Chain A
Amino acid sequence: MAEQDLLLPSLSKTDNIKERVMRIKIITMAIAAMLSSTVALSAQQSSVVQADIDAYQGYFLERFPNVDGLQGFSKGAYAMNEDKMMQFEAVMEMPPFEDLVEKGGELWEKPFANGNTFSSCFEEEPSLIRAAYPRWNSAKGKVDTLEQALIDCLVSNGEKKWGTGKGKHAWVAAHLTTLGEGTFINVIVPEGDEAALAAYNDGKKHYYAKRGQLNLSCANCHVEGAGMRVRGNTLSPGLGQTTHFPVWRGKWARKTNGVDGFGTIQRRYGGCNKQVRAKPFKRHKSEYDNLEFFHTAMSNGMEITTTEYRE
């Protein structure tokens, strides 16, 4: 049986679900077609990857019919619990991280010693940068992530590297995510590009491989376990997780007495690996870059929702 059949076992359970899945697919295809007529989509999506995306998104749409369509999954576990959603909305009315996003904006604009700014390293206008990453760099034969591009920009302009995953690095990334609100995730693994597909498959394998002493994979918690409880927390669905990073987490904020709770997606990957008692990988190396490539592609067609609060 094909992989997508296993992931999408019985969509014929209700016509309603079937219609919803079909509608989402049509919307996704329309968005992709729209983007293909602009600059964002210069290559055709690998048919293998598109089948994975359809199966992955279809699985969540079928399993959680009460979540408000594809975009509803961007709210993570909050979309599955009314009380939690109310708490989330209350926090987001006056987000505790606004000043840090502003600082990120100031750093974005601040000239380096050579007079250049961050924007000199990017071809896109700022509001389109977040959705342009992660992306396959065929010249280098590797995945480029936005957070790595920021570090590369510092280095190429003769500046000192920043620490990654949090602090200033996360603030600038959060500024770009905020500017990118309303743009669409559209990760392309070019059809026929074996190296790109290999990187995607490497990330996919990481996602589904059980690891650590607890012998759990990303998918165990965020696909099979999505919506279930682990102690006091609800496990978020994997779909939509990349629409709002960097996030400001209450848990991370507590480590800095509430001052800075920001962290990038790769900081979160490290935390997840630690939680299953696996040794985390270094940020911005191929292991997490490829994981981010796969993970983000699974949310293709979803809107960037600005940086958000998480527990």
Chain B
Amino acid sequence: MKKLLITILTVFSFTVFAGDLMPSGHNWNIGSTNQALYDAALAEAKAEQKKAAAVGFEWRDIGKFMKSAKKAMDAGDWSKAKKLLDTAASQGRLGQQQAIDQADAGPISF
């Protein structure tokens, strides 16, 4: 009986301390928050990709970055997924800029 009481108290104390160790601002819905952030980042990357494609200067690997981001997200690695989606969006914007820079492309002096 004494052993059982000690065990129950020990488990209870761990539970209380564990709760105290979490930051006060901790979001217990972290999974769904990351999913929302992922969805937003993916939408942005897709929008930039579409704009680059519309002007004929889409870069090759944007789609690959998005696929890799999905894999990372499925594996629970939001940080990696975000990095990949940021790269995809950035390459979309660079493609658009390239289209502007190359608007007057033609033969040059050698």
A56 to B110 Cα, complex, angstroms: 12
Task: Tell me whether A277 and B60 are in contact (CB under 8 A).
Answer: yes
Beta-carbon nearest neighbor of B108 in chain A: A6
Contact between A6 and B58, CB atoms less than 8 A apart = no
Looking at the complex, which one of B91, B101, B105, B106 makes contact with A213 (CB distance below 8 Å)? Answer: B91
* Given A211-B57, A213-B60, A278-B60: A9 in contact with B98 (beta carbons within 8 A): no
Interface size class of A (residues with CB under 8 A): 20 to 34
The stretch from A71-79, A129-137, A202-210 touching chain B is A202-210
Is B15 positioned at the interface, with any CB of A under 8 Å from its CB?
no
Known contacts being A277-B60, A277-B61, A278-B58, is A210 close to B98, with CB within 8 Å? yes
A223 to B106, CA, bound (A): 12
Q: Is A83 an interface residue (CB 8 A)?
A: no
Give the nearest-CB partner of B101 in chain A.
Answer: A210
B side interface size, CB within 8 A: 20
Partner of B102, one of A59, A209, A277, A287: A209
B59 lies within 8 A of chain A by Cβ: yes
Does A274 contact B106, Cβ atoms closer than 8 Å?
no
Complex Cα spacing A204 to B53, Å: 19
Contact pick for A3, options B61, B94, B98, B107, CB 8 Å: B107
* B107 engages A6 (CB within 8 Å): yes
Query: Judging by beta carbons under 8 Å apart, are A219 and B107 in contact?
Result: yes
Contact yes or no, B60 A7, CB < 8 A: no
A217–B105 CB distance below 8 A: yes
Contacting residues of chain A (36-70) with chain B, CB-CB under 8 angstroms = 52, 55-56, 59
* Distance (whole angstroms) from the CB of B94 to the closest CB of chain A: 8
Asked if A224 lies at the interface with its beta carbon under 8 angstroms from chain B, I say yes
With A210-B102, A213-B91 known as contacts, the answer to whether A278 contacts B59 (CB < 8 A) is yes
Question: Does any Cβ of A come within 8 Å of B109's Cβ?
Answer: yes
Tell me, yes or no, whether A229 is within 8 Å of chain B by CB.
no
Within 8 A of B (CB), among A1-56: 3, 6-7, 9, 52, 55-56
Other than the given A210-B98, A278-B59, 18 more pairs (CB < 8 A) read A3-B106, A3-B107, A7-B109, A7-B110, A59-B110, A205-B102, A208-B108, A209-B105, A210-B105, A213-B94, A217-B102, A274-B60, A277-B59, A277-B60, A277-B61, A279-B62, A281-B56, A287-B56
| 16 residue pairs A–B, Cβ–Cβ below 8 Å | A9-B109, A9-B110, A205-B102, A208-B107, A211-B57, A213-B59, A213-B61, A213-B94, A223-B107, A223-B110, A274-B60, A277-B59, A278-B60, A279-B53, A279-B60, A279-B63
In the A-B complex, the 3 residue pairs with the closest CB atoms: A209-B105, A209-B102, A279-B58
User: Which residues of A are at the interface with B, using a C-beta cutoff of 8 A?
Assistant: 3, 6-7, 9, 52, 55-56, 59, 204-205, 208-213, 215, 217, 219, 223-224, 273-274, 277-281, 287
